[in-house]
Amino acid sequence: MTFAQPDTSPWTPPESYDGRRRPRPSKTRAAAVAACVVLGVGLIGGAAAGSWLTGDSGADGSRDTFAAAGQLWHGVPVDELFPPTLQGEGAGPGGTDRTWTRIAVAPDSDCVDAFDPLLRKALAPVGCLRLLRATYTDATRSNVTTVGLLFTKADATAMTALKARFEKDGLDRRTDLMPRPYAAEDTVAAGFGDNQRASWTISVLTEAPVVVYAVSGFADGRTVTEPQPAADAMKSGATTAPAQSGLGHEAQGLADRVERGLRKTAASATEQPS
């Protein structure tokens, strides 16, 4: 299953600082220098790939990777972006392990009605190219979480500006800027509506034209009167319902793993064949 298509001269010894000619290097030395150059290039390339996979800002200048990431929505199987099962080693409260199972995938779409009005306005500067969403449940089927990948129309500069605004104004922590869940019929998430949102996280990437988010709630459809951002719900000593039920960990854990998968897929897409 995939998402819909969119659209050689003689060597002259160099002079040293005192004007004397340096002796010609031996073949052994020349070979060693060449090896070091090759090794250095390899290390630089490896560091660049590693910085993308880990989210290091040093990879922001990779135009090829940025462009490749922006095209993943229509050329990558859904199971690669949203695996049927995700393992969260140490991702639960107190470092417990989690396992999440995908229960529904939304058809790829635009962003109409996917976000609360103020969040839609906040995201408007980068535009909406396509939105992909999937909903997961935990091993006990008591919690449900929707994870979203918003592919934008923006370049790296615009994504960097949006990330800076979110961080400066705390837009990822406001309850009036929560993403909406995907409530799939005939699943445990059928009753997962706006009033059931308990915890959420929003991550604006700068290495890719993508915004990653997740929103969690209870599978029994109960209303949550005090939703709490995942970063706060995961703090030690937090006593809100989202915190004590681990819903902050659910949202953050799933968003992190889907984001890592996106990075890995984008990095693979830009690898040159040997």
CA-based Rg of the chain, rounded to a whole angstrom? 24
Higher-scoring residue by pLDDT: 182, 54: 182
Residue 97: both structure tokens together: 């392990």
Percent of the chain beyond pLDDT 70?
A: 76
Higher-scoring residue by pLDDT: 65, 27: 65
Does 210 score more than 90 pLDDT?
A: yes
Higher-scoring residue by pLDDT: 42, 184: 184
Q: Which residue has 């040997």 as its token pair?
A: 274
Question: What pLDDT is attached to residue 269?
Answer: 75
- The answer to whether 102 and 135 are in contact (CB under 8 A) is yes
The per-residue pLDDT for range 56-67, each reduced to its tens digit, is 444 444 677 888
Give the pLDDT mean for 153-162.
96
Q: In whole numbers, what is the pLDDT of the chain averaged over residues? A: 81
Question: What pLDDT is attached to residue 94?
Answer: 83
Give the pLDDT mean for 192-209.
96
Question: What pLDDT is attached to residue 62?
Answer: 62
Give the pLDDT mean for 3-32.
41
Does 35 score more than 80 pLDDT?
A: no
Confidence grade of residue 91 (pLDDT, cut at 50, 70, 90): confident
Buried (b) or exposed (e) across 60-97, using 16+ Cβ within 10 A?
bebeebbbbbbebbbebebeebbbeebebeebbbeeee
Rounded distance, CA 149 to CA 265, Å? 14
